[in-house]
């Protein structure tokens, strides 16, 4: 149950790893950028309200969420490196 290549003859073959990598990149990159924008906006609103400590917490939480969204991409990079060794 993987991403199928367009040259697939319908036998359920898996796509080339680089195709999977592109799918992960195109899914996780916009999510990470969106998280960064929302985090920046929320932290700025907290600072404007005089809540500096809450703004710092929001920034840390946003960074942690961005790392979680990027984990599939990091996994793909590690698999690629391990394949080269």
- The 10s digit of each residue's pLDDT in 2-56 is 555 455 445 545 555 555 556 666 667 788 888 999 999 999 999 999 999 999 9
Q: pLDDT class for 83, splitting at 50, 70, 90?
A: confident
Among 19-23, 58-62, 74-78, top mean pLDDT goes to 58-62
Q: How far apart are CA 32 and CA 18, in angstroms?
A: 20
Q: Any residues with CB less than 8 A from the CB of 2 and at least 6 apart, and which?
A: 14, 15, 20
Evaluate whether 39 touches 62 at the Cβ level (below 8 Å): yes
Q: Any residues with CB less than 8 A from the CB of 35 and at least 6 apart, and which?
A: 62, 65, 66, 69
């Amino acid at each position: 149950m993987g991403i199928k290549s367009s040259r697939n003859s319908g036998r359920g073959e898996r796509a080339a790893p680089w195709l999977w990598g592109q799918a992960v990149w195109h899914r996780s990159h916009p999510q990470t950028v969106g998280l960064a924008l929302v985090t920046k906006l929320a932290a700025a609103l907290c600072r404007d309200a005089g809540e500096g400590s809450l703004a710092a917490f929001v920034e840390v939480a946003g960074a942690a969420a961005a790392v979680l969204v990027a984990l599939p991409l990091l996994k793909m990079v590690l698999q690629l490196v391990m394949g080269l060794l």
